[in-house]
Amino acid sequence: MQLSEKKRPRVMSGMRPTGKIHLGHLVGALQQWVRYCETADPYFEIADLHAYTTSFSDPQSIRDARNDMVIDWLAAGIDPQKCTIYLQSAIPEISELHVLLGMITPLSWLERVPTWKSQIGELGQHIATYGFLGYPLLQLCDIAIFRGERVPVGRDQLAHLEFGREVVRRFNYLYGEGKEILTEPEGTLSDFPEIPGTDGRKMSKSYDNAILIADDETTTAKKVRSMVTDPLKIRRHDAGRPEVCPVFALWKIVNPDHVPWVDRNCRSGELGCVQDKTDFAASLNEFLQPIRERRAEIAKDPRYVERIIDVGSQKARAIAAQTLHDVKRAMKLV
């Protein structure tokens, strides 16, 4: 037991508590996390400090989203016995490491991470803070403090991982004296790294195009009815192009067995978009039903979730303290 646990790779990933979990999180990240519970030694973080980098003016929403998000994780099948779930802000060692690594991180490395400019463009100049510039460094600290080897993330996060690897290499070069004090993390992508939302753009809370796990069946059906399809398929019997249709992309996830049938009948003009969406809404609700039932069950006992986070944070903190000690020793601080 002890030995096989030792051999399991250390996996670390996290999500910001900025709202309810949607289908994109479920198939992009959570299903991968569930598998890691069986094969790895995973650490899953509620990245509340990261949430403050963009939502600093709304602390209550971050506080409210924290437990809700963990309920969604558990409902999706994350087994709290097989992973460590913890709160980033409850591990002050992460913040201390952030200060230390900040000393060796060139500003130009942070400025060239693509999310820095693109997010300011999207969300506005008000988020151009010191904290937000440091977002990828804080993320590296999350990973490095647990010596994370593999980091399951979405495609948009790979640049953060690449940046993080450079910082680790620089740290080991400056202070390691030939040893690897910090571990270089590696990003892993899921089979479905990005899924489209109702408007065809990437599913995201900020685009208001997301289908939530916590939605009820009627809301889900309404959202599916509003989905865009092939813009050239105007009348029911027009031949459609499934490859440009977001509903088709979601069919592949929700019910792969049905995909060849939809493909054939959409192309031939046999299947109209209205009918397809009605079928899809039913299938999607069926797919989400067991998760929603578990969600309702878990939500009945808020103390259960609190306890999972407390116990996980205590365990995580002990490991973080050890890594921080090694870092400080290498830097001649202790």
In angstroms, the CA 289 to CA 195 distance is: 20
Binding pattern to ligand TRP, positions 15-44, x when CB under 6 A?
xx----------------------------
Q: Is 12 in the site for ligand TRP (CB under 6 A)?
A: yes
Q: Is 14 in the site for ligand TRP (CB under 6 A)?
A: yes
- In 88-184, which ranges are E strands? 150-152
- Listed in sequence order, the residues at least 6 apart from 15 whose beta carbon sits closer than 8 Å to its beta carbon are 21, 25, 29, 45, 46, 47, 69
167 near ligand TRP (CB under 6 A): no
If the CB atoms of residues 116 and 280 are measured against ligand TRP, the closer one turns out to be 116
Task: Give the residue among 143, 75, 99, 121 at the shortest CA–CA distance from 292.
Answer: 75
CA distance 262 to 220: 20
When asked if residue 153 is in the footprint of ligand TRP (CB under 6 A), the reply is yes
Binds ligand TRP by CB under 6 A, chosen from 101, 143, 224, 320:
143
| Shortest Cβ 334–ligand TRP spacing (Å) | 26
Residue with tokens 């899809």: 280
98 binds ligand TRP (CB under 6 A): no
Distance in angstroms between the alpha carbons of the first and the last residue of the chain: 35
CB of 280 to ligand TRP, least distance (A): 27
CB 263 → ligand TRP: shortest distance, Å? 32
Task: Find the binder of ligand TRP among 50, 202, 277, 295 (CB under 6 A).
Answer: 50
**How is 50-73 classified by DSSP, letter by letter?**
HHHHHHTT-HHHHHHHHHHHHHHH
The Cα angle at residue 97 between residues 19 and 3, in degrees rounded to 5: 85
Q: What are phi and psi of 21, to 5 degrees?
A: -75, 140
Shortest Å distance, C-beta 15 to ligand TRP: 6
On whether the CB atoms of residues 48 and 313 are closer than 8 A, the answer is: no
For residue 316, state whether it binds ligand TRP (rule: CB under 6 A).
no
Three-state DSSP at 18 gives: coil
Distance in Å, CB of 56 to ligand TRP, minimum: 16
CB of 276 to ligand TRP, least distance (A): 31
Smallest separation (angstroms) from ligand TRP to the CB of 87: 12
Closer to ligand TRP by Cβ: residue 41 or 45: 45
| Token pair in block for residue 117 | 């400019």
The SS3 call for residue 195 is coil
Q: Does 144 bind ligand TRP (CB under 6 A)?
A: no
Which CB, 183 or 265, lies closer to ligand TRP? 183
Q: What is the DSSP string of 206-236?
A: GGT-PPBTTS-HHHHHHHHHT----TT--ST
Asked if 10 is part of the footprint of ligand TRP (rule: CB under 6 A), the reply reads no
Least distance CB 44 / ligand TRP (angstroms): 9
Which residue do the tokens 């996996």 mark?
A: 11
Q: Should residue 66 be labelled a site residue for ligand TRP when binding is judged by CB under 6 A?
A: no
The residues that touch ligand TRP, with contacts defined as CB under 6 A, are: 12-16, 45, 47, 50, 139, 142-143, 151, 153, 157
